[in-house]
């Protein structure tokens, strides 16, 4: 198969349970959502400058970096036609740890097979994103401890909704849970205060590391 790849690079994982570890990123072009805070909107535009890579191209690139954590991101990676073939190919290399950053609007079940199960970092798009209607909460039946549900928070209404979703789907203790502030929209302190007030055990507050290490708009980091 051929995949539309917007960029490839090595950096540190900015988010999720492997935050701070080296990771090789494959960013696919195109997304079915349009979050109002999207910081990779350039990769979703129809005329974005992508290149075509096959499974073999992608695997060879990953192996050439010497980095084991692989993050497939976007855009929305699970919408790439044939992506399951790529997952099978990457899964056949036991040294690689495959993580898929997905926006929560695509069913993950078809991409899970026992032998080569990737790790999922699943967004729940809160009201502040403008995209909550697209969330597929059926996905929560498939979560495992290594997976993550990430809530990107714009305001107090989003905090209230995130707590409601965690409770409704009984998420605490079943997977990693992360609260992350939309850069420049809400003070990180407000998230911590809310966590203290509501005694949110097993929830991580997370800042997007790369926005503190590099300029917030920088690509390829
Ligand atoms: S899902 Fe992700 S890539 Fe797609 S518009 Fe929202 S923030 Fe951007």
* pLDDT by position in tens, the chain (length 221): 999 999 999 999 987 788 889 999 999 999 999 999 998 888 888 888 899 999 999 999 999 999 999 999 999 999 999 999 999 999 999 999 999 999 999 999 999 976 778 999 999 999 999 999 999 999 999 999 999 999 999 999 999 999 999 999 999 999 999 999 998 899 999 999 999 999 999 999 998 777 777 776 777 77
Ligand 1 neighbours, Cβ below 6 Å, are 31, 33-35, 38, 40, 44, 74-76, 103
Instruction: Give me ligand 1 centre to Cα 131, in Å.
Output: 9
Measured between alpha carbons, how far is 153 from 124 in angstroms, rounded to an integer? 10
Question: Which residue has the CA at smallest separation from atom 7 of ligand 1?
Answer: 38
pTM assigned to the model: 0.93
- Contact assessment for residue 171 and residue 177, using Cβ atoms and an 8 Å cutoff: yes
Q: What is the pLDDT of residue 145?
A: 95
**Domains in the chain, CATH or no CATH each:** 2-213 (3.20.20.70)
Q: Residues 218-221: contacts with CB within 8 Å, 24+ apart?
A: 219/7, 219/42, 220/7, 220/9, 220/11, 221/9, 221/11
Omega prior to 75 cis, within 30 of 0: yes
- Per-residue tokens: 150: 């990430």
Measured between alpha carbons, how far is 12 from 21 in angstroms, rounded to an integer? 5
Q: What is the pLDDT of residue 47?
A: 80
**Which of 4, 40, 43 has most ligand 1 atoms within 8 Å of CB, for mutation?**
40
Q: Which atom of ligand 1 is nearest to the CA of 43?
A: 3
Q: Which atom of ligand 1 is nearest to the CA of 37?
A: 7
Q: What is the pLDDT of residue 202?
A: 93
Q: Which atom of ligand 1 is nearest to the CA of 129?
A: 6
Q: What is the pLDDT of residue 182?
A: 93
Q: What is the pLDDT of residue 214?
A: 75
Measured between alpha carbons, how far is 188 from 165 in angstroms, rounded to an integer? 20
Q: What is the pLDDT of residue 39?
A: 86
Q: Smallest Cα–Cα separation from 108: which of 133, 159, 134, 143?
A: 143
């Amino acid at each position: 198969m051929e995949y539309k790849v917007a960029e490839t690079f090595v950096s540190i994982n900015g988010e999720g349970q492997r935050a701070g570890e080296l990771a090789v990123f494959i960013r696919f072009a195109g997304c079915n959502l349009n979050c109002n805070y999207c910081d990779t909107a350039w990769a979703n535009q129809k005329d974005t400058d992508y290149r075509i890579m096959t499974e073999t191209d992608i695997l060879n690139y990953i192996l050439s970096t010497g980095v084991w954590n692989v993050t497939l991101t976007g855009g929305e990676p699970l919408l790439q036609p044939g992506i399951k073939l790529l997952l099978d190919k990457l899964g056949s290399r036991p040294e690689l740890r495959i993580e898929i950053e997905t926006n929560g609007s695509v069913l993950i079940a078809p991409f899970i097979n026992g032998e080569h199960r990737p790790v999922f970092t699943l967004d729940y798009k809160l009201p502040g994103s403008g995209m909550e209607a697209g969330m597929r909460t059926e996905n929560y039946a498939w979560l495992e401890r290594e997976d993550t549900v990430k809530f990107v928070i714009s305001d107090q209404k989003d905090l209230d909704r995130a707590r409601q979703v965690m409770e409704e789907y009984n998420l605490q203790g079943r997977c990693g849970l992360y609260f992350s502030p939309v850069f420049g929209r809400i003070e990180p302190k407000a998230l911590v205060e809310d966590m203290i007030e509501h005694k949110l055990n097993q929830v991580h507050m997370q800042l997007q590391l790369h926005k503190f290490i590099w300029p917030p708009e920088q690509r390829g980091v």
